[in-house]
Amino acid sequence: MKRNCAAIGIDIGGTTTSFGFVDQHGIILAEAVIPTHGEQPAVNLVARLQQEIGIELCTLPDNLQLLGIGIGAPNANYLRGTVENPPNLKWGTSVNLVQLFRDQYNLPVAITNDANAAALGEMCFGGAQGMKDFIVITLGTGLGSGIVTDGKLLYGSDGFAGELGHTVVDPDGRLCACGKKGCLETYVSAPGLCRTALELLEQRKPGGRLAKIAGDKLTSMDVYEAAKDGDPLAQEAFSVTARILGIKLADAVAHTSPQAIFLSGGLANAGSLLIEPAKQAMEEYLFTPYKGKIPILPSALPSGNNAVLGAAALIWHKQKEPV
């Protein structure tokens, strides 16, 4: 373990970009948020980040040693150091963001996608400390996944392994933004939950509070609040969502045999409305050798900006490896 050291974690989102100086325990020593301005070239964001990082650094002890810069970004490719066709950033086909940072800093720089960063964060600072085989599922506007096997993030041949959000629930199912039909994330995500609630409303035409909200105004928070307050339709929307998640998690286990599965992100906060029934469905479809062995757990990252912690873990992960 290194004292007086920190890694810079940067989380690039479509609207805002956060960064923080993260110590060995996952404590964020200083942090800030700036607008991403995704309509401008990536080099512009790097220049503004450099300035802000300099400002924050002045607030920290002089003897703080920087170990490196870890970046989490949508559509990031760890192997190539690039961000490729990011949906909400006008950065074109491919930008080598790692190179742009290396041009400015004499430090190790690494990049990966949000879900992979979440998995590394869980391994360095969260509930997966000491685990060598686990899966992290991030549930938000989409469903992301980071798979760790034998103590390492699984990247596969092309740097894009771990895309469980685009596995098939129903070959003739819902159209996904990716262009395919029936992808898991069209069912298990914040918008997926809303779509299920709206379908149930359409089929059942019940009373209840969700029926009073116009379809295009319905949010996953509405469904969550209603379910928590005992609304049967909202609870059914959760149980349908959880069952689909559980069955696909059983498939994921049959691929990589993890010790545990962690759920993080907005929808994961639904807790027992999601985790318990997902676990039940997963157990039903687990192959015998795995049955009863694999807990589904909420992320146990220390409070703070999870995405910044995950990005910093890209650097801390290497420091913590046994020599």
| Cα-based distances in Å from 279 to 12, 95, 216 | 32, 40, 31
Give me the helix-helix angle, 232-256 and 220-228, nearest 10°.
Answer: 110
Beta strands, E only, the chain: 5-12, 16-22, 28-35, 65-72, 76-77, 82-84, 94-95, 109-112, 134-139, 143-149, 152-153, 260-264, 296-298
Partners of 5 in the β-ladder: 65
Judged by CB under 8 A, which of 2, 90, 209, 255 binds its own copies?
255
What is the per-residue binding string for its own copies in 259-278, x denoting contact by CB under 8 A? x-------------------
Q: Stretches 91-99, 209-217, 288-296, 309-317: which one binds its own copies (CB under 8 A)?
A: 288-296
Q: Which is nearer to its own copies, 21 or 134 (CB)?
A: 134
Q: Stretches 30-38, 111-119, 125-133, 304-312: which one binds its own copies (CB under 8 A)?
A: 125-133
Q: Which is nearer to its own copies, 27 or 247 (CB)?
A: 247
Q: Does 157 bind its own copies (CB under 8 A)?
A: yes
Judged by CB under 8 A, which of 92, 129, 229, 287 binds its own copies?
287
Question: Which tokens sit at 26?
Answer: 């996952």
CB of 289 to its own copies, least distance (A): 5
Q: Which is nearer to its own copies, 44 or 129 (CB)?
A: 129
CA–CA separation, 267 and 270 (whole Å): 6
Judged by CB under 8 A, which of 171, 230, 292, 322 binds its own copies?
171
DSSP secondary structure string for all residues of 48-115: HHHHHHHHHHTTS-TTPEEEEEEEE-TTEETTTTEEES-TTS---SEE-HHHHHHTT-SS-EEEE-HH
Judged by CB under 8 A, which of 39, 103, 199, 284 binds its own copies?
284
- Interface residue list for its own copies (CB under 8 A): 84, 131-134, 147, 149-150, 152, 154-164, 166-168, 171, 178-181, 247, 250-252, 254-259, 284-290, 293
